[in-house]
Structure 1
């Protein structure tokens, strides 16, 4: 009954999410991945319960495989949750890739143990000759891995608040609380299934809370929005002692993309640039869609050399996109940067960036006009 409810909730959740979003970003894929893993885990556990103790051709093999999927699925939920929290807070692909090997370690250990268990070692669980499942001592590794993942996600949220990155408390407890309760019940009361349905409840809690969090998100680009920028700069006191630089950029000839390829392609261009910025900014950077086709990258605790290197990285990734010819349009930006000085306020900081950006914009148009006249 509990697993059937889980399958129904996850199916409905995935259906609603697909109907109510403009575009699919990496964070959406990770969240959907958690829902799919939860659905498959509930189905596998149901199959395991149905075949347990039954004797027919292949029943023992089915019992092994279905229980193995449950073990891998459980720790996969923990891994995906940590990646989701990391990306939701920092919106930074480089940070994810940098920490991926560290975060994946408990998952890799669990998968190796499960695969070894399939060879008949019995370290995670055993299936008797009568096709009856028995949990083994190695199963504790999965529970420990989940606790590590839950603790790490809580640490990420609190650390980000100290850094001034997470202005609105990410709903980590909404997920960790129900999931931990489900794991604890299943560990203490052998044979009772509760984890998958409580993970389903936790995912729905997170989804509901995320609607409020979306106040700070730009759905189209997948970046933070202007409201978030204003909140970060208002809380500038949090980053006292660290440098703060901003890079403002404007898409060149964006009107040409809209006029010649349609507004849907204009939206695709915004989404594409958002993904490029997420790949380009260094660890600790924040990418923001400021307005229309204008974007801002905030870099804390860096020097001018790092700012220039980030600008070069953005241009390099834009060139790679243009060379790929994946889309009918090409992308380039005019950029200008400024430092948030000791005597600056938000308005002065934005004005300095804007002035530098429009200097580059004028140079771009002069160069374009010069090239056109030569032809």
Structure 2
């Protein structure tokens, strides 16, 4: 892989290179990069798939060879397989501002969205009649919209797509539940979780937050802001691996009322009683369905060890510094009018990615990847760059902007 030249810069490239070096030298999180398996590629796609934590391969090998290969069925108890969904949920909890006992890990994000949204509508129905409408984020990841449409049909609700900004005015006596994304997957816009949650509650409805693009990148504050239900994946900023299991958060005060539309044997109060009638388990375990995916679960548990001793607040501070620096480098290096940032400049409205609009974005991203700068493309014209503060440094940021400028010449 050849090193990019300095031909595209409209400023002195050496100045920004030097500044990047100084920022990396002062970075209190810089040493965390050693906890990952990385090479000389500038990897800015952790908002799609996080890098491999170095401790995962040995842990997975042990699970396969010893726990499965030698202990076999005994590992459900002796290796803690049975309790893994709750144990790993408690490991994720502080990363999203939740106390223990409120998160269970398992299934996919889409499955958990379905559970949470239907349960929210059912709780609203218990509160009183007439709540027969679901509001869904019109800018949401498409799968959330598909699930919301199915949940609406199943519960007899009308589905009303609105933008997050429109939610407060759209709420009313008919609103049963609201499904929102914390960070817009296209633009990186961070939505106001505290204010929107408060507005939904004031209207007497329940809120479900999708945290896929915020957990592990910034403080969430589920308990602090009284969020009802939340879901999220673990393969982005939590680095759990491709297809790693998602999680479901159910606030303590709602757990006795949580009525899952997928009552599986794993969430039964007596899972091995094999009774014909369903009695839900206590606590967050009501969110379980079938047999846990042990290999993926325990790989995720190993991956979460990279968070030992790491403050989410420090991660957020570095995330903002990285994205600020990237936007600055793009502004200095890229010719005027070649790209347009879709990501808000205000810190309060920015997640941990930068989205740039570019006419030939698909081809540009292919050429960037060929030169060792990996981001991703979203149709029709968006370049996305994700900044995972645990392993991305300021030199990575400067190089990415410089290669982008040269690619766009």
Look at both structures and tell me which one has the larger radius of gyration over its CA atoms: 1
Query: Of the two structures, which has the highest relative contact order with CA contacts closer than 8 Å and spacing of 6 or more?
Result: 2
Q: Give the TM interval when normalised to the shorter protein.
A: under 0.3
TM-score, structure 1 normalization: 0.26
Query: Higher helix share goes to which structure?
Result: 1
